[in-house]
Amino acid sequence: MNSAEAAILGRMLKPESDDLPPEAARSLLKLEFAPEDLSRMHELALRAQAGSLTDTEKDELESYRRIGRLLEVMRSKARRSLARAGLAA
């Protein structure tokens, strides 16, 4: 994700706010990578450490990283929203 994309997403998601309804927050906290994606990420990470990624695999790994960062921003907002509502995550 380049800086322009990050800025656009930041304005759209407003990660610093805690205004999600509890149902939406709980739904976001349930989002996770599928087991086959976790396995693929692990495989790519090992290949990256060995320095043997192809250009296509580098792009794939970067895509997983971008989606992971976005997911963490959304989860953080969800946790803050639940805490503001006095509910446990």
Residue 4 in domain:
no
- CATH code at 54? 1.10.287
pLDDT at 79: 94
Q: Is residue 10 part of a domain?
A: no
Q: Is residue 84 part of a domain?
A: yes
Q: Is residue 6 part of a domain?
A: no
pLDDT digits (tens, 9 = 90+) for 29-56: 999 999 999 999 999 999 999 999 999 9
Report the number of distinct structural domains present in the chain. 1
Q: Which residues contact 25 (CB under 8 A, 6 or more apart)?
A: 77, 78, 79, 81, 82, 85, 89
The pLDDT of residue 14: 85
Q: What is the pLDDT of residue 33?
A: 96
Structural domain for 45, as ranges: 34-89
Q: Is residue 85 domain-resident?
A: yes
17 compared with 77, residue with greater pLDDT: 77
Q: What percent of the chain has pLDDT over 90?
A: 71
Assigned domain for 26 exists: no
pLDDT at residue 6 above 80?
Answer: no
